[in-house]
Structure 1
Amino acid sequence: MTTTHATPLSAEDLEVVHLIHSALRRDTERLADFAQKWRTADPGTHDALLLGWHGFSTELHTHHSVEDVYVWPFMRPRLAHDAGAMEVLDAMEAEHSVIDPALAEIEAVLDDRETATERLGGLLDGLVTSLGAHLAHEERDAFPLIEQSITKEEWHDISMRAFAQLDKREVSEMLPYLFEGAPKDRVAVVLKSLPVPVRVLNRFWWTPRYARERRWA
């Protein structure tokens, strides 16, 4: 329950979500020529493409799961009096229900290299279009509702509970993924909210390992 001492959310508090969206948009650009590259006979290129794809699909699925399990359900009682807000939250879940099966369908196609090139381009185009529209919709209509209905303290609690559900491997892959190519000042905002051991591991082990791995090409 919100108290009189509750602190409103700031743009800095939502920086991690903005970074997630930026990382997903970064990789949708890489998907533009994914199907064409997939036709290569080079096993190394296939492996790099799959590594890139699996990183993207895993983080997108995790992002949606966190929102569906922790964020939207928390907001609903607070906004139940607002029909427009309920429509936005319903739309967020409905859009997830379209995107997540699309990821699974592409995964199934990638398992069969003989048929992948026949269907892959169209499936990826559809995913990029629906995801781009969803991210823009969320930023335009859902982000203001998050700021309206969740306090800084509550957001921290939600974030920590969601973070605690990830195992070490998932965290070690997620942070370098989010930080790839991001401005240092934005990365610093997110890092300072994490425990010191996590920051050390990310700096000296996880990020260097991520940088050594060949992905997408």
Structure 2
Amino acid sequence: MSADAKQQWIDEAGVYGLGKSYSADGYDGGTSLLPYFYRGTARRLVGEHDDLLVDTVAREPESVIRFSEEFELVSLLRRNGDHWEINGYTFGNDISDLGLVKENGALVQLSKRIDASIARDWWAADALPSSIPIHVDLLDGETVQAQYDAALGTDYLKFTVDELLSFADQWKGTEAYDRLIVYTGAPRGFAWHDRRLALGQTLRLTIDGETILSNTLTARN
């Protein structure tokens, strides 16, 4: 598939995100539906090297805006008749304002008033990868301020791919789309708990030494 065709695929998809998908107590299987949210259309997704634009939300003076990076495996689903199937995968940063969520968990949608990034040159596949090691850097300019290693893939998710495809049929609004972009959640242990991210800092994801995403936090005009 050409780069232009991959771009068009992204542009025509609805965007959803999953919560607690890597958490030991986040999903118990069976008939329960994994927490999810609708992020909108791909117009709020930026590319591999674009700025992540941030809308600030007015809150009480004691409130804290605490940005949290959430590098995730992103599944690409395609409707095939009356069911969904895996069409490919890529990686994204579904950054959140955790300070807002900690004030009130019901405000998760407002916590996403920040663009998410996505690697638009995605991998075509009919299955999701089981385990991919990732490396994350936090940079001020060219200086690395912090870093960590993690892994993404189905080996760590608390649901099966079949369950994911079943979830998509139950989510509100999916009937409007033939393609879905699904951020599958951040792995346990992500983020820097002892520091806050700030405007002007860059978040970089590398895999096998190759930069997949590198986005700078920037205030939206």
Structure with more relative contact order (C-alpha pairs < 8 Å, separation 6 or more): 1
Structure number, greater radius of gyration: 1
Q: Report the TM-score, using the length of structure 1 for normalisation.
A: 0.31
